[in-house]
Structure 1
Amino acid sequence: MKTITTDELQQRIESGEQLNIIDVREAEEVAAGMIPGAKHIPLGEIEDRAGELDSGQPYYMVCRSGARSGRASDYLNEQGIDATNVEGGMLSWNGETHA
C-alpha cells in the first residue's frame, strides 16, 4: 500500500496542488473539522460509492489514525483506483481544517 505522511500532504496542498482527498471518518468525526477540499465518504459507504471516483485520478485517504483509511485504500486499489493512505490520519494533521 502506498502511504504519504501528513506533513508531505500538507506541503503539497500548500504548494497549490489540487489533490483528491477522501475523508472516511464518520459524520460526527468530520464535524470537528476536515482537511480543506476533502470529500467525505464514510468507510461503510466506500464500496457503494467507489463509482463516484475516477480511476484515472489519484486519491489520498484519511481517517482519524490511518487504520480505516488503510482499509479503504486497500479496497480501492483492488478496484483499480489509485489510492494512497495518509499515515497517522487527522491525529497527525497540523494544517488547517474546516467544518
Structure 2
Amino acid sequence: MREMSCPQVTIRELKQKLFAYDDVQIVDVREIDEYREGHIEGATLIPLGILPYRLEEVDRNKEVVLVCRSGNRSSQACELLRERGFYNVRSLQGGLSSWTA
C-alpha cells in the first residue's frame, strides 16, 4: 500500500476560513450514524465507501476540506479525489476528534 500524501488543513486554518466565509466545501466522509452524533455545521455527508459514486456533489470550484473521525478516511478520500482530477483538496488534521476537543 502506498503512503498517502494529502495536504492537510489545521483546525485553526479551517475555523478562520469559515469565519471569513471563504469558498470552502466541507465533505464529511464518515458513516451516517457517526455524522448524526456530531459534525461540522454545513458539512456535506458523503461516506467514503460511496464517494466514487457521488463525485458530482463535490464542487471543483471550491477548496474541499475532507473530514472523518481521526484523519485516516479523509486522507483516503483526498487521494481518491486527486486521482479523479480534484486538486484543491485537503484533509482536516486530526479529524472531528480534534475539532471537538
**Residue 51 of structure 1, aligned match among 35, 56, 60:** 56
Q: TM-score, normalized by length of structure 1?
A: 0.87
Letter in 1 for 2:42: G
Deviates more, 1:7-16 or 1:30-39: 7-16
Structure 1 alignment gaps of length 5 or more: none
Aligned-pair identity (%): 38
Q: 2:95 aligns with which of 79, 85, 89?
A: 89
2:11 corresponds, among 6, 9, 13, to 6
2:30 alignment partner AA: R
8 Å CA contact 2:25–2:59 kept in 1: the answer is no
> 2:96 corresponds to which letter in structure 1?
M
Supply the distance in 1 between the matched residues of 2:21 and 2:89 (Cα, whole angstroms).
Answer: 20
5 Å matches for 1:57-72? 57-72=62-77
Q: Helix, strand or coil: the match of 1:84? A: strand
| Count of aligned pairs between the two proteins | 95
User: How far, CA to CA, are the matches of 2:26 and 2:74 in structure 1?
Assistant: 11
Deviations 1:41-67 (A, max 9, x none): 000111111122232332100000000
1: CA distance, partners of 2:15 / 2:62:
19
Q: 1:73 to 1:16 in 2, by over 3 A?
A: same
DSSP 3-state at the match of 2:54: helix
Kindly indicate whether residue 31 of structure 2 is the aligned counterpart of residue 26 of structure 1: yes
Moved more, 63-72 or 10-19: 10-19
* Conserved? CA contact 1:4–1:87, under 8 Å: yes
Q: 1:54 to 1:16 in 2, by over 3 A?
A: closer
- Structure 1 stretches of 4+ moved >3 Å: none
Secondary structure of residue in 2 paired with 1:21: strand
Aligned 8 A contact 1:7 1:93 in 2: no
Distance in 1, Cα, partners of 2:60 & 2:19:
25
